[in-house]
């Protein structure tokens, strides 16, 4: 599947015609559907792509005539909503979903998840928990009906909205989810990232044409492996992001591994013009993470055709095809060579056109509204 195929939302949406939809669920006392969107309670302690996705969709859905708001559970009655849209595969979502179902409120979930054995092994846990996680994954791969809170959550909601076809296939393979209950909704980015002033960020960091590594600083993002791979190179590097609470030691290890050509910059609010300026100023964007699905910063940078270096694991290739470079996060030589090639490649008009055409938040909101229509 190529990125352009998102226009047709492939077979996991097949069969979702008007005849196969769930029974009609009338809007409660108002003319337009009322949708509440929510993530985990601690989401804003270290906001990432899931939180950006939630807030951007809320804005775009409102522009499509849907009464979409971020849920404030201490102020807004869940029973007054037509649909609850949850983000992330979180255990804490399960009792919320069960309550919503008792109240007659439909529920959709953007799982934002990835499942493979290597990812289980590379979780930043002690040896015994990692071995147990790998054993559970192997058992689930052999027995998709194996009970778990995650399987219960996925089967309790009305629709699952993964960000890619490959993520959708994992839901079916490992949790027995019927394809008719899945609708692929691509991730998006704001078209404003296509045109920004590079001078703002260059002035902030004191250099231009640098390698940009953007994202929350944590083991999954593999900033440490990237910095070790780039040792001895004189190319300027900017690591943009804050450590996730609990991973301060990892952040310290990254700073120790950084050479004199590396600058660390604090995370920027998503609407800050400096963030768009960082993409405009860099020579390439790198995410040599253990996996990405596909990484919102990759979509944001690609809006202006920035050369991308992404991990082989995840949905990056499904989005960008051959218009990005892909590396194994555990191969430093491969990472280094891919970065150096990307720095000489220059901007790609084809990449910019692809992302602007198929991966705006408007496109994502239209697909999301389609999922709501199927269950309301």
Whether 110 and 142 share a structural domain: yes
Number of structural domains found in the chain: 2
| pLDDT (0 to 100) of residue 195 | 87
In whole angstroms, what is the distance from residue 123 CA to residue 289 CA? 12
CA atoms within 13 A on the CB side of 277: 17
Decide: helix, strand or coil at residue 352.
helix
pLDDT at 104: 96
67 forms beta bridges with 34
Clarify whether residues 290 and 157 are in a common domain.
no
pLDDT at 119: 74
The pLDDT value recorded for residue 31 is 66
**What's the pLDDT at 19?**
33
Based on the fold, state whether residues 172 and 211 are members of the same structural domain.
no
In a shared domain, residues 225 and 287? yes
Considering the domain architecture, whether residues 132 and 60 belong to the same structural domain is answered as yes
- Asked if 175 and 195 sit in the same domain, the reply is no
Return the pLDDT at 348.
Answer: 97
Considering the domain architecture, whether residues 205 and 106 belong to the same structural domain is answered as no
The per-residue pLDDT for 117 is: 76
Q: What is the pLDDT of residue 128?
A: 84
Q: What is the pLDDT of residue 16?
A: 35
Same domain for 162 and 133, yes or no, is yes
Which residue segment(s) compose the domain that 24 sits in?
3-188+360-375
Q: Do 272 and 141 fall into the same domain?
A: no
Both 36 and 179 in one domain: the answer is: yes
The string of pLDDT tens digits covering residues 278-306 is: 999 999 999 999 999 898 999 999 999 99
Residue 93 CA to chain centroid, in angstroms? Answer: 18
210 & 347 share domain: yes
Across the chain, which has 376 residues, the per-10-residue mean pLDDT values are 46 38 50 91 77 94 95 95 96 97 97 84 75 83 90 98 97 96 96 92 91 95 97 96 93 96 93 95 96 93 97 96 96 97 97 96 96 95
The b/e string for 335-353 (b: 16+ C-beta within 10 A; e otherwise) is: bbebbeebbeeeebeebbe
Q: Are residues 307 and 371 both part of a single domain?
A: no
- CATH code assigned at 207: 3.40.50.2000
The residues, ordered by sequence, that sit 6+ positions from 246 with a Cβ below 8 Å of its Cβ are none
Per-residue confidence (pLDDT) for residue 137, from 0 to 100: 80
pLDDT score recorded for residue 9 = 43
Instruction: Decide: residue 105, CB within 10 A, 0-12 exposed, 13-18 middle, 19+ buried.
Output: buried
The residue among 37, 73, 41 whose CA lies nearest residue 53 is 37
């Amino acid at each position: 599947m190529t990125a352009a195929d998102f226009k047709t939302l492939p077979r996991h949406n097949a069969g979702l015609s008007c005849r196969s939809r769930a029974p009609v669920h009338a809007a409660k006392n108002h003319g337009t559907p009322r949708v509440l969107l929510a993530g985990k309670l601690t989401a804003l302690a270290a906001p990432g792509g899931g939180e950006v996705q939630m807030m951007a969709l809320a804005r775009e859905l409102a522009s499509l005539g849907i009464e979409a708001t971020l849920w404030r559970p201490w102020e807004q009655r869940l029973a007054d909503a037509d649909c609850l849209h949850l983000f992330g595969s979180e255990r804490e979502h399960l009792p919320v979903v069960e309550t919503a179902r008792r109240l007659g409120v439909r529920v959709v979930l953007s799982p934002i998840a990835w499942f493979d054995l290597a990812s289980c092994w590379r979780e930043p846990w002690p040896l015994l928990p990692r071995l147990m996680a790998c054993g559970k994954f192997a058992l689930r791969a052999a027995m998709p009906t194996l009970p778990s809170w995650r399987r219960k959550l996925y089967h309790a909601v009305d629709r699952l909205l993964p960000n890619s076809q490959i993520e959708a296939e994992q839901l079916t393979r490992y949790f027995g989810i019927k394809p008719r209950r899945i609708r692929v909704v691509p991730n998006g980015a704001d078209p404003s990232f296509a045109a920004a002033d590079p001078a703002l960020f260059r002035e902030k960091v004191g250099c231009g044409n640098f390698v940009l590594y953007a994202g929350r600083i944590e083991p999954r993002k593999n900033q440490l492996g990237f910095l070790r791979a780039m040792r001895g190179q004189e190319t300027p590097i900017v690591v943009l992001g804050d450590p996730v609470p609990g991973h301060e030691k990892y952040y310290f290890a990254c700073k120790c591994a950084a050479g004199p050509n590396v600058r660390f910059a604090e995370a920027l609010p998503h609407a800050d013009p400096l963030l768009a300026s960082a993409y405009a100023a860099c020579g390439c964007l790198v995410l040599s993470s253990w996996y990405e699905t596909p990484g919102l910063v990759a979509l944001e940078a690609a809006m202006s055709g920035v050369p991308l270096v992404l991990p082989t694991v995840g949905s990056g290739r499904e989005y960008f095809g051959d218009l990005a470079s892909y590396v194994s996060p555990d191969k430093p030589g491969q990472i280094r060579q891919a970065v150096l090639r990307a720095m000489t490649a220059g901007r790609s008009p084809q990449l910019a056109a692809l992302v602007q055409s198929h991966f705006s938040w408007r496109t994502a909101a239209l697909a999301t509204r389609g999922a709501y229509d199927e269950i309301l």
